[in-house]
Amino acid sequence: MASHRKSRPTGTRVAGIRTPALATAALTSVALLSQSANAAPAADDKPSLEEVEKKVDDLYRQAGSATEKYNAAKEKTAKQRKRADALIDDVAKRTQKLNEAREELGSFASAQYRTGAAAPDTATFLLADTPQDYFDQTQLMDRMTGRQKVAVDDYIAQQSETMTKRQEATESLEALTESQGDLKTAKATVQRKLADARELMSKLTAEEKARLAAIEKEKQEEAARKAAELARQQAAQQQAQEEAAQQDSGSSSSGSAGSGSSTSTAPADSSYATKADKALAFARAQIGKPYVWGAVGPGSYDCSGLTQAAWKAAGVDLPRTTYDQVNAGTTVPLSQAQPGDLVFFYDDVTHVGIYIGNGMMIHAPKPGTYVREESIYYDGESAIHSVVRPA
C-alpha cells in the first residue's frame, strides 16, 4: 500500500534549525559574494601612492649607495692597475739584469773551460816556462775567481729579487681582477635599481603622477620651512656672538685706555671663508648640469664628484667617495654650519651636498635630476647624518 506521507523537503540544518532549499541557496550565494568581495583586494593588491613613492625613493637611495661603492671600486681599480703596471715593468727590468748576470757567469765558465783554469797547484808551476809565468797565471786566476764570486752573488740576489717582484705582480693582478669584479657588480646594481625605479614610475597613471607631484611639493614646502627656521636660529646665534664680541672689545678698550692702546680681532676662519667662497662659486656654476653616477665633471656629476670638484677649485683635495669625504675634515654641529661645509645624509653616508647657508645646499640629487639648490631637509631632518668642515 502506497504511503501518503509527504516527503521531507530537502535542506540543511543551521544551528539546529532546518532550512529550506531556497534559503540554503540564498545563503550560499551570499557566502560566495562575501568571499569574492574579500578576495578582490587581494587580487588587486595595488600599493598606495605613498608606498610607491617610498619604494622609488628607496631604490634611488640604494642606487646612490651602489654608486659610491662603484666610485670606491673604480678608484681602487685604478690604483691596482697602476701598481700592477709598475710591478710588471720592474719585473721586466730585473729579468734583463738577471739575464745579463747569467751571461757573465757563462762567460767565466767558458773562459775556464778554454784555459782549463783551476786552483793553482804544482802542475801549474811545472807547466809554466818561468817562475814569472807561474806568478802571472796565479794572479789572473785569483782575480777571475774573485770576479766569479761577485758575479754569482749578484746573480743569486737578482734571481731572488726577481722572484719576489714576480710574486708581488701576481698578487697585484689578482687584486686588480677582484676590484674589477667589485666594479662590475656595483655597476650592475646601480643599473638594476634605476631600472626598477623607472618601471615603478611607468606603471602610474597621469592622475597618480599628479598626486605624487603634489606629495613631493608638500615635502619641499616642509623642507623649506625647516630651512628657514634653521636660518633664523643661525642668524640669532651669529648676532649673539657679535654682541658678545663687541662687549669683549669694549671691555678691552676701556681697560687699555690709560695706555693709549687698542685691540682688534680678525674675523674667525677668514682663511676658510675665502676657500669656501671659491668652492661655492664653482658649485653654483654647475647648477643645471645632469646627475650621472660615477661622474666627476665637467659636463655631469654625481654627489661626491660635485663636492670633490668644488673644493678642488678652492685648492683642497678631497677623497673621491662620501665614505672618505666624511672623515676629511672637522665635524661641526648643524647649528654651526657655515657656507662651504659638507652635509652628509643617511646612516650609510651615501649622499653629500655643499652648504650655502640659510638651511640650503647645492647638490647632485639622483639620476634623472640636475645639480640644484635645495633645502638640507629635502628628505626629512632624520636623513641628515653630519656636517663636516673640510679645510
Mention every residue, 6+ apart, whose C-beta is less than 8 A from residue 196. Answer: 59
List, for residues 261-283, the tens digit of each pLDDT value.
333 333 446 899 999 999 999 99
Cross-strand partners of 354: 342, 362
Q: For the chain, how far is it from start to end, CA to CA, in angstroms?
A: 116
Mention every residue, 6+ apart, whose C-beta is less than 8 A from residue 147. Answer: 108
Q: In 10 A of CB 269, how many CB atoms?
A: 14
The torsion angles phi and psi of 18, rounded to 5 degrees, stand at -80, 130
pLDDT tens across the length of the chain (391 residues): 444 444 444 444 433 334 444 344 444 443 444 444 444 444 456 778 888 888 888 898 899 999 998 998 888 888 888 887 888 888 888 777 777 766 766 665 565 555 555 545 555 555 556 666 656 666 655 665 666 666 666 777 777 778 887 888 788 888 888 888 888 998 899 999 999 988 988 888 888 888 888 888 888 899 889 999 998 888 888 888 888 878 877 665 555 444 443 333 334 468 999 999 999 999 999 999 999 989 999 999 999 999 999 999 999 999 999 999 999 999 999 999 999 999 999 999 999 999 999 999 999 999 889 999 999 999 999 999 999 999 7
Cα(292)–Cα(92) distance, integer angstroms: 40
Stated pTM of the model: 0.66
Mention every residue, 6+ apart, whose C-beta is less than 8 A from residue 61. Answer: 346, 350, 351
Active site residues: 303, 351, 363
